[in-house]
């Protein structure tokens, strides 16, 4: 990864931090995203003290304007982007709206990654880059209600999360089918007791942290998709950790994937 540039959202958190440190150790320049520059600064300092290269970029993922402005800044700073890793995600216990009026799980888990993928296409193309989107096995349980994508009726956190990860998997495959100069894949890296579970009941958090994989274990398949030669050229696939698996049937339906892109595109205009 020497000389390559990686943008990683949600970089300071458990899995993100492990990915950032590992890719920096391989020689990559890490653009570490957090909600603010200050929140990303400790990770950037840690990478630099270890002899690596990194910079911080802070912006809120639930703001369309903020994500677009950040993408514009990144295009100005970097003519090439070798890897985009959409790692950040939320699981909202209650239905909340973003400043733009979108359900927050949808805004953070779907709209923000989509904007970054679209707005950073030029530097990704210049580097024949890779897009790595963190999906989840939960996407298999997702259902798409085309008339109520944001759960204005019958909201439940688990359903909103599942739908968001299904939508992201669909958008990944649509991008892969549309863009031949880059690769785009989604994956389930495993489950770790990270900040994603902060809104869960305490007893569920306890068993999650006790029984699930370590952040390092979940980071490993992400690092592979971002850097390994054996997956170079692989695109439009869903990985369950290290192995390719068939995704949800809708993610294999290109017409449905295009429909999802059209809807999401209309949301972020």
* Residues tagged active-site: 161
Name the DSSP class of 107: I
Residue 244, CA distances (Å) to 19, 214, 218, 251 in order:
20, 22, 16, 14
CA distances to 101, 176, 177, 219, 241 from 233, rounded to whole Å, are: 38, 11, 13, 21, 18
* CB neighbour class for 61 (10 Å; exposed up to 12, middle 13-18, buried from 19): buried
User: What SS3 class is residue 92?
Assistant: coil
C-beta of residue 86 within 8 angstroms of C-beta of residue 132: yes
2 CB burial (10 A radius; 0-12, 13-18, 19+): exposed
The structure tokens listed for 5 are 């540039």
Cα distances from 109 to residues 12, 16, 245, in angstroms, run 17, 15, 21
CA dist., res. 45 & res. 49, Å (int):
6
Alpha helices in the chain (DSSP H): 14-25, 37-49, 64-77, 104-106, 112-119, 121-126, 157-178, 202-211, 215-227, 254-267
């Amino acid at each position: 990864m020497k000389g390559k540039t990686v943008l990683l959202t949600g970089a300071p958190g458990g899995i993100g931090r492990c990915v950032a440190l590992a890719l920096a150790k391989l020689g990559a320049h890490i653009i570490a995203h957090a909600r603010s520059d200050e929140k990303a600064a400790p990770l950037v300092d840690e990478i630099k003290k270890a002899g690596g290269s990194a910079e911080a970029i802070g912006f809120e993922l639930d703001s369309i304007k903020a994500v677009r402005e950040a993408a514009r800044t990144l295009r100005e700073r970097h003519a090439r982007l070798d890897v985009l890793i959409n790692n950040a995600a939320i699981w909202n216990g209650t239905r909340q709206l973003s400043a733009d009026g979108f359900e927050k799980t949808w805004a953070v888990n779907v709209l923000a990654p989509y904007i970054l993928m679209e707005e950073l296409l030029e530097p990704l193309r210049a580097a024949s880059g890779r897009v790595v989107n963190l999906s989840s096995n939960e996407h298999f349980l997702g259902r798409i209600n085309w008339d109520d994508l944001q759960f204005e009726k019958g909201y439940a956190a688990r359903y909103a999360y599942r739908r968001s990860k299904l939508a992201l998997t669909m958008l990944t495959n649509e991008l892969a089918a549309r863009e031949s100069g880059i690769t785009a894949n989604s994956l389930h890296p495993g489950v770790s007791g990270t900040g994603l579970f902060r809104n869960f009941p305490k007893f569920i958090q306890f068993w999650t942290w006790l029984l699930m994989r370590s952040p390092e274990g979940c980071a490993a398949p992400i690092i592979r998709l971002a850097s390994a030669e054996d997956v170079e050229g692989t695109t439009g696939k869903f990985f369950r950790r290290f192995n390719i698996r068939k995704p949800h049937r809708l993610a294999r339906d290109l017409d449905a994937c295009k429909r999802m892109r059209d809807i999401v595109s209309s949301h972020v205009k």
